A = this chain, B = another copy of it.
Amino acid sequence: MQQPDLQYIGVRDDIAARIAGSEFKPGERLPSERQMQIGGGVARGTIREALFQLEAEGVIYRKDRSGWYVSPPPVVYDPTRWEGFMSYVEAQGRRPETETLSKVEIACDDMLAQIFSRPVGAPMYWIRRRRSIDGRAVLIESIIVDASLAPGLVEHDLDGSLTSVLKSVYGIGVARNKVDMQPCALTRDEAEALRVKSGLPGLSVIRTCYDAQGRVVEFDREYWRHDALKVSVDIRVR
């Protein structure tokens, strides 16, 4: 669409090269936007255009009003493997963390009634969690569990693997897993919980878990930072 004679592309390439050359390492902060201006006569808007570019590429990310930082590498996620976040992040040599933001009992609404094949008003648990890797929040998730299948679930500690609690305490195993993924923009609620600017690109992962009887036991909406995740699927045909 255009050649690299554009100024902001030049600035982008410059910063990218300095990152590639390890002048700035993953997690480190870049110089401030105004500091980057000092050398050559370039407007702050142009610097910012370059930074947005690198942000879209997943090379850098920002902390609000704090600065721009070099992105760590993404973790690999395989939706066909039946492994929880804690275990696959750890297996990749990273430090996973889960915080439960809220856990409450709610009444089944129209949408949930359809998904769970349960009557409207049936008790459900709604769990919101934030998960981090190496101290950086990478996703927030909103989980719905059928309360009749797992009574008292919210009394347990849910800062670890929910799957293993369902299995060990309630004997609920998952036989089928439906996963939808779609690039999206992080809206206000998600962005706030991830402490990022609203509108930043993300990846929405929606999972529906079924038990052996075909009942829906868990419905999970995850919103990931777009630079934190790589999806990998290995399929044997027929």
Contacts and interface: CB of A to CB of B under 8 A. Distances in A.
Interface of A: 1-2, 4, 9, 52-53, 56-58, 64, 74, 79-80, 82, 174-185, 188, 191-192, 195-203, 226-227, 229-238
Contacts of A198: 1-2, 9
Contacts of A201: 56, 183, 201, 226
A58 B233 contact: no
Nearest to A6: B198
List 5 A-B pairs, minimum CB-CB distance, nearest first.
Answer: A183-B226, A57-B185, A181-B231, A56-B185, A179-B233
A1 B237 contact: no
Contact of A182 (B197, B230, B235): B230
B53 A233 contact: no
Given A1-B196, A56-B199, A56-B200, A237 B175 contact: yes
B183 A237 contact: no
Contact of A180 (B52, B64, B199, B231): B231
